[in-house]
Amino acid sequence: MAEWNNGAGRTAEPPRPSRPDGTVPGHIAIIMDGNGRWATRRGLPRTAGHKAGAETFRRIATYCKNIGVKYLTVYAFSTENWKRSEMEVAAIMALLKRYLLEAVETMERDHIRLHFFGDMTPISPELRALARETDEITEHLSKDDFQANVCLNYGGRNEILRAVWQFAEDCAKGIRDPWDMDEEEFSFYLDSRGIPDPELIIRPGGEQRLSNFLLWQSAYSELYFTDTLWPDFDEAELDRAIASYQKRDRRFGGVKK
């Protein structure tokens, strides 16, 4: 994070915006980018960056819950991330296992729902079982509780393809009419069914693209990019993203009168 001159010849972090006033997005999505670069710049293994990034996720999820965000969706592991080294993939999966074990113990106490987007079939049986357990706990919690959605082995194109395959199968079984389809009906077949589209998508790390993230759901999302690497992303950075969102003129293709 850039340093700020406090007027006394010393430097410090820039002043943090006040807690968000006005409309807070009901659904925020984040591409958690920059873990590896954060570690490399510090002479650390990339796995150390993922560990730091996991702690950032925990902190930001808690903050989102506290300020009234209803849904937080994070891009944890894409369908393309299998191309990384076995050591790095194993480290990410180990962190996920630790997080899920903690979630099983704390979800009901903290009133946090947890849901997964993505094709879970290549994920280890142990992790799939833990994910099913969190799903069962989520079903017992109030739909008004905060919900974190974790995109694991996820790709936006793959999600759309899987939705098409499922719809085609339902048509073949006579459950659906292939000509009886609109956007709302199609959304039912997506991983995000029942969840409103994100109003705000944030990408730390300096890149300015979606990278196959929530391609259907992001049609009218506001986008916010920052050079801050994900492990350094904090509550103040989220406040700035929300402040930027609050200044946007969201017309959804129309014209305000």
pTM here is 0.88
- The Cα 20–Cα 33 span in angstroms is 24
Report CA dihedral (189, 99, 130, 29) to the nearest 10 degrees: 0
pLDDT of residue 5: 34
pLDDT at 2 over 60: no
Active site residues: 33, 81
**Site of tokens 């944030």:** 202
- The Cα 117–Cα 148 span in angstroms is 11
Strand 71-78 versus strand 27-31 pairing type: parallel
Render pLDDT for 149-196 as a digit per residue (tens, 0 to 9). 999 999 999 999 999 999 999 999 999 998 988 999 999 999 999 999
- CA-closest candidate to residue 206, choices 221, 228, 223: 228
Render pLDDT for 20-55 as a digit per residue (tens, 0 to 9). 666 899 999 999 999 999 999 999 999 999 999 999
Write the CA distances from 164 to 18, 154, 170, 252, integer angstroms: 44, 16, 10, 26
pLDDT of residue 7: 39
Q: Estimate to the nearest angstrom the gap between the alpha carbon of 229 and the chain centroid.
A: 15
pLDDT at 254 over 70: no
Q: Estimate to the nearest angstrom the gap between the alpha carbon of 101 and the chain centroid.
A: 19
pLDDT at 241 over 70: yes
- The Cα 221–Cα 198 span in angstroms is 6
